[in-house]
Amino acid sequence: MVGLLLMLQLYFVASHRNVHVPQPSASPPLRHKHSPQAGIKPLIDEFLDKNSPLRHLFFPDIKSAIHPANGSHYYRPGHIWLDTQGNPIQAHGGGVLYDETSHTYYWYGEYRQVGVIGVGCYSSKDLWTWQNQGIVLSAQQINNETHKSNMLERPKVIYNDKTGKYVMWMHVDDVHYRKAAVGIAISDRPTGPFQYLGSRRPHGFDSRDMTIFKDDNGVAYIIYSSKMNTELHIGPLTEDYLDVQPNMRRILVGQRREAPAVFKYQGTYYMITSACTGWAPNEAKVDAAESIMGPWETIGDPCIGGKEMFRLTTFLSQSTFVLPLLGLPGSYIFMADRWNPAELNDSRYVWLPLAIGGRPLESNSSGSQSPWPRVSIHWHKKWRLPLSWRL
């Protein structure tokens, strides 16, 4: 094993190009986030092992941090990303809201130290320089539902045009993932403070990894993993975005998918999900639908570039959000987390360009020619937004 690690390390140092990942074994059984998946060897073992000599390749130290003061505007997936005050950004499992009133982007996510402190918020005009707006929803405000020994995950915020409220939905759970509920909070401002309204199980079902999506007509939807992560549920929210309506569809039944990230292009809905392998990364998949309520059809793995098995682990990350680039139709930023289970507060962000277009995949889930255009997430060690992009 020592010899193998030395060979891998020499390869990385010599090439400085792509990560080589070995072929995964058969699909593992369903695991909770706190139970690492052990079937993808040996790289996943090294990824999960905080004492691995290869650890620094997946989690570079502070010396190579992305700092807004250097003026390069290069994204470097997997590196420490600093805010305008020079502190690592804490917005894990998050999402981005574009506020039309202030022409500002707000990035919300899990603010972690030893446990979850609350929901952090960062603001930006250029999607690269982020100012810390503080904790907009403290775990202490939630009646101990998100005490540091419990879970607050994947917060997402949308704006309700009718009520003028900013509405946050999130996954709330206990340390054993048995509560399996959603929490809801509201605010008059994107920077909070948010008022916590309580938690519930949507449609009466367990809910774990989740997201919300606001459509062009203002109708919002919740998408969540349910029935012990064996299927996804999707349904519209009420007009005030504070509860679910009774109609719900079960989708991707039996596929064991989580980490949904939904976006729309030219009337078609797309959703990126991951498999359920604990904190270990796995292959992303894209599904498409003409109606957000389905039916949804799997159209393949969107990852392009790097070594094959690097792609088959979604570049060692897990989807959390897809952000449209204003003024560039068909262009998006794929947001993902490179989880560090040894120190979750040191988990990194993998932001990569996502594009829609080009020749469709040769076959879809039914084995026939796919009618959908290709969805592509391109790997880059470093990249910048196109010069034509303007806020």
pLDDT, tens digit, for every residue of 172-213? 988 888 999 999 999 999 999 999 999 999 999 999 999 999
3-state secondary structure of 46: helix
Q: What is the mean pLDDT of the chain?
A: 86
- Edge-to-edge strand ranges of the sheet holding 181-187: 151-160, 165-173, 181-187, 195-200
For residue 266, what are the CA distances in angstroms to 21, 49, 270, 311?
Answer: 35, 43, 11, 27
Question: If you average pLDDT over residues 82-93, what whole number do you get?
Answer: 97
pLDDT computed for residue 16 by the predictor: 36
Instruction: List domains and CATH numbers for the chain.
Output: 39-378 (2.115.10.20)
CB 389 within 8 A of CB 328: yes
Question: If you average pLDDT over residues 322-343, what whole number do you get?
Answer: 93
* Burial class of residue 3 (count of CB atoms within 10 Å of its CB; 0-12, 13-18, 19+): exposed
List, in sequence order, the alpha helices (H) in the chain: 2-15, 43-48, 55-58, 308-311
Cα 205 vs. chain centroid, distance in angstroms? 22
pLDDT at 285 over 90: yes
pLDDT at 120 over 60: yes
Q: Is there a cis peptide before residue 24, judged by omega within 30 degrees of 0? A: no
CB 377 within 8 A of CB 77: no
pLDDT computed for residue 368 by the predictor: 61
pLDDT computed for residue 147 by the predictor: 53
Question: If you average pLDDT over residues 94-122, what whole number do you get?
Answer: 93
Q: Is the pTM of this model over 0.95?
A: no
For residue 91, what are the CA distances in angstroms to 187, 352, 386?
Answer: 18, 17, 24
Question: If you average pLDDT over residues 94-103, what whole number do you get?
Answer: 95
Question: If you average pLDDT over residues 54-78, what whole number do you get?
Answer: 90
Query: Which of the four pLDDT bands, split at 50, 70 and 90, describes residue 102?
Result: very high
Distance CA 301, CA 169 (A): 28
For residue 303, what are the CA distances in angstroms to 298, 307, 308?
Answer: 14, 11, 9
For residue 111, what are the CA distances in angstroms to 220, 243, 246, 284?
Answer: 25, 25, 32, 25
Antiparallel, parallel or unpaired: β 375-378 and 303-304: parallel
